[in-house]
Structure 1
Amino acid sequence: MTKLSVNINKIATLRNSRGGNVPNVLATALACEEFGAQGITVHPRPDERHIRYQDVYDLKANISTEFNIEGNCREQKFVDLVLANTPAQVTLVPDAEGQLTSNHGWNTINNRVYLSEMVKLFKDRGIRVSIFVDPDERMVEAAAETGTDRIELYTEAYATEFHENPELAIEPYVKAALKAQEVGLGLNAGHDLDLKNLQYFKQNIPGLLEVSIGHALIADALFLGLEETIKRYLVCLK
């Protein structure tokens, strides 16, 4: 079964909008675990507009499932945070400063040398590394040359095109997944996956190990409740 890692950034966004500690980020993460999620994902940014750096320390000290920290390794503060907390996985995302949300993968061809250095840095500390990439077979192949353990396919294009033509939307992702298998990379996916498009993605992508889902899952929980929402996402991944 593909693992579900719940991205709790939006819980932190809601908390920060009012100040104080409601909703409680750590309590939400522990509830996600209790309800069946197999991992917790956070994506701290330099302005701490959602996940704060202290949240990362608190989560690391208390959660029992897989911890995945996403972010831009060009930020030294992010690198230091990851090394200080040694999560199960770090996902390297090429965000620009102030970027609203992730909107592209790494060019692993142009950045191969740099990414190889960062992959080694984290792997030497026992942290599994995943590189965020677009569904492009060339980028997948070049990612393998960095020594990374996994890639995470950026799925916004799939989610956008899914309603018009699911077969066309999934096609480049299938090719990228097959290339990942060919070059020995583990496969994750994330961004805009939801209850409408997740099951089809899971059924058609070979070797899918993990999905990271935040915005849609938290939005669904407003109507369905967190426990029921996680249950439905897990059903999509069976």
Structure 2
Amino acid sequence: MSDNVKTIKKIAQNPIFIAFYVFTTIFAGLSFEYMRNELGLKIMTVAILLVFLIVILNIVLATAFNRSINEDELDQKIQDIGNLISNNNLAWLVSEKHLQIVEMNSDVIWVFAPYLDYAIDPTTDIYRGLQRNLKRGAQYKFFMPEQPLTHKIISDFQRVHKYKKNQVEFVLIPYQEYLFHTIISIYGVTSDEPHCIESIPVEQLGVWVRMDKEHTDRMIGVGEMMIKKYCS
């Protein structure tokens, strides 16, 4: 139970509050009866309706005003975050949404991954994006460590995804030689502007790092070397 709820409950159970509530109810009833006798029921009804409409109008205006303030505060926070990224040269940080957009515009994708749980879990956005990409004909190469778990993942991958022959390839590297402990994806490998993006190894963070051209070219070179060594 939150502190606000506890405070409200404590006030509602206070004897002074209960006595005040009872007194107010009795006073309101007597006042209504007195005004009804003096002014008549019709005028009283109209007056009550006017007061009710004024109260409702105030509530609506107050809600709209508070919402406007909250939206302005949210816009300001978004702008502050944008300024922070720009001023501190943090444009290399990208979100999972950016990752999906880049993937949807790439025809050849290489992935260095010690595991592929996200790619065989139907509840993840990456799984659904992978299905869409395979359906439109994108080609994938997965560089993974040679181990029993990897073979199970490959079997599950082939079971849950549909794709054409040679559209997906798994390059298995001896476990002792596999040095990638984060997920590194290269999008548009054969294009003029490939993008290499690496996950940050922090649980539930959902932020990725975009490499510069020099490191992207190096990772493509590493992939080409592994293909020649382990796929020939």
TM over 0.5: no
The structure that has the greater radius of gyration is 2
TM-score by length of 1: 0.29
Asked which structure has the greater RCO (Cα within 8 Å, sep 6+), the reply is 1
| Higher helix content, 1 or 2 | 2
TM-score by length of 2: 0.30
